[in-house]
Amino acid sequence: MNRGMVCLLLTLPAVAQIAQRDPFDAALQAFWTARSAGHFEEAAAKREEARKLLERTAVDAPQFGNRVLSVTQLYESGGMSRQARSIAEEALSRAGGLGQSHPTRIQLLNTLASSWQQDRNLLKALACLEKAAAAVDAAPLAKSPVPGAEGQPYSNRAFVGFSGRNVASRLDPVQDNNFVYPRLADLYQQLGRPDAAAAVLAKMRTLATNNDAALASIYERQGQLDEAAAIYKKLAEQAAANPQSQPWQVAGPLQSLANLYQREQRYGEAAAALQQAVAALDASGKPEAHNQTISIRQSLASILHQAGQTQAADEVYQQLLAETKDGRDGLPTGLLSNYANYLAATKRGAQAEDFLKDYMANHPNLQPWEEINLLSTLANVARVSGQPKRAEEYQRAAMEKQPAAQPTPAGQVFIGKDLQKAQSAANGGNLDEAFGLALQAMDAAGHAVDRDQVAWQVSSLAGTLVNKKAPDKAEQLYQRLFGLVESWSADTLQPLLNVLQNYPRFLMQQQDRWADAPGAIERYRNALTTARGAGTGWLEEVLRLNIDFERTHGSQARALSAAQDLLSLEESLSGNTSEPYLRAAETLAELYESAGDPERALPLRRQTVSIADLVFRANDARRGFIRVQVALALARQRQFDEAERLANEAVAIGQTMRPPQPNLFAPQLEQVRRMKAAPQSVPGSVGRRPTGAIGTIPWFDTQTYRPAQVNAPPAGKPASAKKSEKQQDR
């Protein structure tokens, strides 16, 4: 046969395969390939191509809803949520003819709800979810795709669980119709509508009568832990009694039961459940089942340690190490790291270091990533043991191994290492070197795979330079950075938003630049509106920047005005009984108090208690945190009867927590009583608070209503700002 004909015949299958590949899928793949190679303009063009192909996709095509989700996520990841929503809204309009209960329409409503929720507009998210739930309710009976749920009504697919896992762990992103009800219940609760949330949960319970795993998850969501535990026990017992059951069908519910007990600090029962799970897996005699016990037994050791049973935990680890040391690939580095960290936590840091160093010395052929993991563990062990210099040495050694673990592909550029060197140089006082390295990194960033790192690393470096008395260099970095991230705006707006958010605080660090801060804040507002739309809840960050600026560098009157605007914004986005509204009310009350006007703060303080009772469940510690805050505010105004009542209520909440915490709020109750017994303050001084950081209880984070983190953010940057920056980065 002619050689050319043979070649043609051999290539025909490949040509046919290429021809059959869907153009939309090809565009998506090309987008990610281009981005991973640092070809960002090409990636933006492929994203636009995918959007146009979506417009040509038939609305009744089975893949239409998934395609809409894929395209909107491409724009969302670039900070372009306004554009992403317009694509989803157009798709929903096109799907109007499919019928109210069509799965595609429900999926599009879910997509829109997720977008609005990420953009902090909870009322618009609720409107979408309520429509989705109504559509699910109206759907006819259909065969469910959920394993074990055949024959159940379509609406049951709105929440059904898998293998005893908690439904709440699989809510984001919503890629199908399975989680409408749980999301709706959670949103009702966050909006301060507990009756509506309870009604949804009751519906879920009714529909889950034939699905114990889903029912247990619902009970956990409601805080009915005893009921959930009973179901997990029942599931494990039924599986153990059935000779057809697989080992994981016994072990899975027992692990869920152990997790529940661990949350309640019932460590003995948690350990017993895990021991049963290990026994069930080992009894099968299957090697893969026995291998699963390695992670379970490490969890068992952790629980025994929490219970104070160090000797028992030691025995678990020693058995694990003995069993795995002769494995084909040696000991798993994860096990080594966990054991070393356990030794450090039990005051045996020196033993942990010797253990890891001996292992590394006796295994010279470790993979680079394994060496990095072990060196990082050594750094942590040294840090826990109070040896910060040795920890830095280990961490530096781990960083030096990274290039070997992640060799740079040919033709690709990475700038992260230069930025890290720049920060290290600045920390060490080598400012010229730091400045030069940062400029070098920014010059190379245009086609760097990790270019987005400049948005936050250069901002951090500029702050360091200001603290090191080099504001001119810092400003030069920022101006170069602005030009860089603005040039990327056709592809992504997220780096620009991050830099615009950080720049006002950079200006507030410098006394001679205070006057420039309001203009920088307004610039950030305009960019947010352009990227996310007028209805975005991210405008909260703008108002909080205004509040912080006016409190420290402007006027109390303007700070109060900004706080009142914040309260109005949150009411428009989530109503006046929601968790965001609660945060805004706290901020305004704190400003009234710091301005010497506690009388205007008290109604807001009382309102926060009412809202907390709507937003948080009965035994939620956050109800207690709010109450002791308000109690101390009342005590400063010598309204001791109400203050004591609220503090006692907080103590009672602590007693009903799982596990009970009877002494959690006792110090605040005692403080109120001491204030009551103390002589009355000088007239005019009661309730007056020094201007400074917002918050009345140092161990309480008013942005999350949880105990504050031990490590405070850098001076000049309140915790609320640091948290919001991390959220926006994501």
**What is the tens place of the pLDDT at every residue in 624-635?**
999 999 999 999
Q: How confident is the model at residue 691 (pLDDT cuts 50, 70, 90)?
A: very low
Q: Is the Cβ–Cβ distance between 123 and 145 less than 8 Å?
A: no
pLDDT score, position 160: 35
Q: What percentage of the chain carries pLDDT values higher than 70?
A: 83
pLDDT score, position 408: 55
More confident position, 564 or 686 = 564
pLDDT score, position 592: 96
Q: Give the residue-averaged pLDDT of 152-178.
A: 34
Q: What percentage of the chain carries pLDDT values higher than 90?
A: 66
**What tokens appear for 322 in the block?**
């003995």
pLDDT score, position 191: 97
Q: Give the residue-averaged pLDDT of 237-264.
A: 91
Phi first, then psi: what are they for 317, rounded to 5°? -65, -40
The number of folded domains in the chain is 2
pLDDT score, position 648: 97
* CA 36 remoteness from chain centre: 24
Name the residue with tokens 């207690």: 624
> Which residues, in sequence order, are bridge partners of residue 348?
none
Residues 720 and 587 placed together within one structural domain of the fold = yes
pLDDT score, position 553: 87
In the predicted model, what is the mean pLDDT of the chain? 84
Residues 467 and 581 placed together within one structural domain of the fold = no
User: 357: part of which helix (H) or strand (E)?
Assistant: helix 349-362
Name the residue with tokens 């089942």: 289
Measure the N-to-C terminal CA separation of the chain; round to a whole number of Å: 60
CA distances from 488 to 72, 446, 485, 492, 540 (A): 19, 8, 5, 6, 25
> Which residues, in sequence order, are bridge partners of residue 700?
707
Closest CA to 77 of 106, 40, 52: 40
Is the confidence at residue 703, as pLDDT, over 90? Answer: no
Is the confidence at residue 395, as pLDDT, over 60? Answer: yes
Is the confidence at residue 153, as pLDDT, over 50? Answer: no
Residues 604 and 484 placed together within one structural domain of the fold = no
Helix H segments across 533-637?
539-553, 556-574, 579-594, 598-615, 621-636
Q: Distance between CA 438 and CA 432 in Å, rounded?
A: 10
Is the confidence at residue 725, as pLDDT, over 90? Answer: no
- Would you say residue 41 lies in a domain? no
Q: Give the residue-averaged pLDDT of 574-597.
A: 96
Amino acid at 533: G
Residues 609 and 701 placed together within one structural domain of the fold = yes
**What tokens appear for 534 in the block?**
């007028």
Q: Is the Cβ–Cβ distance between 77 and 108 less than 8 Å?
A: no
Q: Distance between CA 316 and CA 305 in Å, rounded?
A: 11
User: 700: part of which helix (H) or strand (E)?
Assistant: strand 700-701
Residues 586 and 699 placed together within one structural domain of the fold = yes
pLDDT score, position 37: 87
- Would you say residue 160 lies in a domain? no
CA distances from 580 to 481, 593, 623, 660 (A): 33, 20, 15, 28
**What is the tens place of the pLDDT at every residue in 506-556?**
999 999 999 999 999 999 999 999 999 988 999 999 999 999 999 988 899
**What tokens appear for 571 in the block?**
């009411």
- Would you say residue 642 lies in a domain? yes
Q: Where a domain ends, among 492, 524, 548?
A: 492
Q: Give the residue-averaged pLDDT of 629-652.
A: 96
More confident position, 10 or 264 = 264
Is the confidence at residue 315, as pLDDT, over 90? Answer: yes
Q: Distance between CA 350 and CA 632 in Å, rounded?
A: 46
Q: How confident is the model at residue 409 (pLDDT cuts 50, 70, 90)?
A: low
- Would you say residue 434 lies in a domain? yes
- Would you say residue 445 lies in a domain? yes
Q: Distance between CA 27 and CA 63 in Å, rounded?
A: 15
pLDDT score, position 129: 96
- Would you say residue 194 lies in a domain? no
Q: Distance between CA 127 and CA 14 in Å, rounded?
A: 48
Amino acid at 558: R
Amino acid at 634: L
Q: How confident is the model at residue 407 (pLDDT cuts 50, 70, 90)?
A: low
Residues 485 and 579 placed together within one structural domain of the fold = no
Q: Where a domain ends, among 429, 463, 492?
A: 492
Q: Is the Cβ–Cβ distance between 179 and 156 less than 8 Å?
A: no
**What tokens appear for 439 in the block?**
């400029």
pLDDT score, position 404: 58
- Would you say residue 689 lies in a domain? yes
Residues 697 and 587 placed together within one structural domain of the fold = yes
User: 203: part of which helix (H) or strand (E)?
Assistant: helix 194-207
Is the confidence at residue 567, as pLDDT, over 50? Answer: yes
Q: Mind spelling out the 3-state secondary structure of 279-323?
A: HHHHHCCCHHHHHHHHHHHHHHHHHHHHCCCHHHHHHHHHHHHHH
**What is the tens place of the pLDDT at every residue in 460-511?**
999 999 999 999 999 999 999 999 999 999 999 999 999 999 999 999 999 9
More confident position, 111 or 333 = 111
CATH code for the domain in which residue 478 is found: 1.25.40
Q: Is the Cβ–Cβ distance between 144 and 160 less than 8 Å?
A: yes
pLDDT score, position 396: 85
Closest CA to 482 of 467, 466, 463, 495: 495
Question: To the nearest 5 percent, what fractions of the chain are helix, strand and coil?
Answer: 70, 0, 25
**What is the tens place of the pLDDT at every residue in 3-42?**
444 443 444 444 444 446 789 999 999 999 999 888 999 9
Helix H segments across 22-162?
23-36, 40-55, 64-76, 81-94, 103-118, 122-138
Is the confidence at residue 106, as pLDDT, over 70? Answer: yes
pTM given for the model: 0.81
More confident position, 351 or 6 = 351
Q: How confident is the model at residue 606 (pLDDT cuts 50, 70, 90)?
A: very high
Range of the domain at 485: 414-492
pLDDT score, position 518: 96
More confident position, 14 or 567 = 567
**What tokens appear for 54 in the block?**
């979506």
pLDDT score, position 36: 86
The count of C-alpha atoms lying within 13 angstroms of the C-alpha of 717, restricted to the half-sphere facing its C-beta, is 19
- Would you say residue 594 lies in a domain? yes
Q: How confident is the model at residue 217 (pLDDT cuts 50, 70, 90)?
A: confident
pLDDT score, position 720: 38
Q: Where a domain ends, among 492, 507, 525?
A: 492
